[in-house]
Each structure stands twice: as C-alpha cells, then as structure tokens.
A = this chain, B = another copy of it.
C-alpha cells in the first residue's frame, strides 16, 4: 500500500507540465525516502530526475517499495483536472495494476477520483555520483527561460561561458550572432532576483537550445534555477521544488564546432555531442544515492551528480546508452 497526500495540488500539476513533453513513459518509484522518477527523454539525449521527499507531504505512507510505470501525458491529463487549490491524494495498492488520483476541493463539495492504468516500462536506473563542478550559476528561472527562448530565434545551440563577472549565453545562426551577458548580482532587494556565480574554473560549453527550452518548462516550479557546469560532465539544470525536492535535467555538452570540424571536416555544422554513458543500478543503490545526495545537499552548492561510465543491468531494465 502506497499513499501520499499533498495539500498544494497545483505543485504536482506543475511537475507534470515540466516533464511531460520531454519524457513519454517513466517508472515512478515510491519508497520510504520519497516519490522519485528518473528517465531519459524520448530521444535519449537528456536525463530527468525528480525527487519529492516523503517529509514534504502532508501524509506519506509506503509499506514497501513499488515502481509504477506511467504514461506521463496521461498522468498530466488527469492532473489537469485538479483545481489549483485542490488537495491531491495518490494511492496504489500492492500488486495492483492501477494508481488512483483523488482531488478534493477546499470546501469538500467536489470530490474527483481518477484511476490510471499502470504500464510495464523497461528502464535503467542511472547511478548519478556526486561531482565537483567548475562553475555553478544561480539565476532567476524566468530570466534563464527568456534567454533560451530569445536565442532560439537566432540559432540552434547556446554556448554557456562562465567567468567571475557573470555568465554569457551566445549563439550564431544564418542571420547573425547574439550574446547575452548576465552579471553577478547578489545585492538585490528580492533574493529570487539574484544572479550568483560560484566558480573554480572558467568554463565554456555548448548545448542544444531545444533541450534547454524543454528544461525551462519547469520555470513555474521555482523562482531560481541552478546551472552546474564542468568541462567533462553533463550540465545539471536544477529547479528546487518548495521544501520537498527537485527536478534536475542533465544534458551532455556538444563538442564545440571548431573542435568538431577539425575531426569531421565533411560536416558543415557539427551535431556531435559528448556521450553520456549511463550506469543502471538496482533500485536499492539508487535510493542510497539519493539519501547520500540529500545529506550532502548544501544551500549554495547543491548536488554534484556525475553520470558514471560502467553500465549495469537493472532487474527489469534494458541498458541504453544516450544517443550521441
């Protein structure tokens, strides 16, 4: 038996809107730790990790670990039926093939329950070990979303360059070039408007704007976004969820064009990406990982995951290496 109750039902709606376009189907894992999900996007380039810790719920009960295979578009359809002030309860019996969503209006005059059929989904669990990042940028999430959208009208990729002074987003397209610089700014009236750079080393990495724009759909969840960058690691774009957890998006950098062109001279516009090699884990390992991450989570330098390189077979999962 698994049951969670969340008074701020709109939060689950926002979570679903943030990931439903990126991921088709995914296993949601329910354990004593919390409600979590990890999945590759449908083109196997980006990775999404969601955690909602058990302490964050008004009520949370999980007798034994269960994994629920869910089509995210369908779950989003159901959550759209919840009013923004509704109390949401999610419930599944052991060994059942469905999960129940219940929405109660604040006045209790309207009670809705939706039963969603579960699916069998092959999935690998990637162990995401801690990592040290060369630079971490914390900035207003709406600003980040705006910049990614604006640059998309000019080019397909963004070069993210971090210096002590600020972070620069650059692109290049048929019509010309664009550079947007956000300066470090810690002395703002509202903390959610701050732009804070933590930097050990200057870093400059190239990413597909298409994915950045997908990640930015999580903007309604958090007023700030954390972008963690290292030369040899996938970027982590993290949105904190209230007091409960986070959504993290991982994306491998593209090999910069000059570099790529040196090797692949026949390609005029290199689409090459540094490969992410996933390391599937059995579930117990993953939960341990999450706990370890939690205990190390610090206000400024949140989680330092690293996608490992040695794939392991998961119980019900096929190991899949990200598209490169």
A168 to B111, CA, bound (A): 9
Contact B182 A110 (CB under 8 A): yes
A242 interface residue per 8 A CB criterion: no
Nearest Cβ on chain B to A113's Cβ, whole angstroms = 5
A98 to B115, CA, bound (A): 55
Name, among A77, A109, A179, A185, the residue most crowded by chain B CB atoms within 10 Å (CB to CB): A109
Chain B positions within 8 Å of A78 at CB level: 153-154, 175-176, 178
A244 interface residue per 8 A CB criterion: no
Chain B positions within 8 Å of A74 at CB level: 175-176
Chain B positions within 8 Å of A143 at CB level: 110
Chain B positions within 8 Å of A183 at CB level: 108-111
A123 interface residue per 8 A CB criterion: no
Chain A contact residues, CB within 8 Å of chain B: 71, 74, 77-78, 80-81, 98, 107-117, 143, 150, 153-154, 175-183, 185, 195
- Residue contacts A-B, CB under 8 angstroms, 26 given: A74-B175, A74-B176, A78-B153, A78-B154, A78-B176, A80-B150, A80-B153, A81-B153, A81-B178, A81-B180, A98-B176, A107-B185, A108-B183, A109-B185, A110-B143, A110-B180, A111-B183, A112-B150, A112-B179, A112-B181, A114-B177, A114-B178, A114-B179, A115-B176, A116-B176, A117-B175
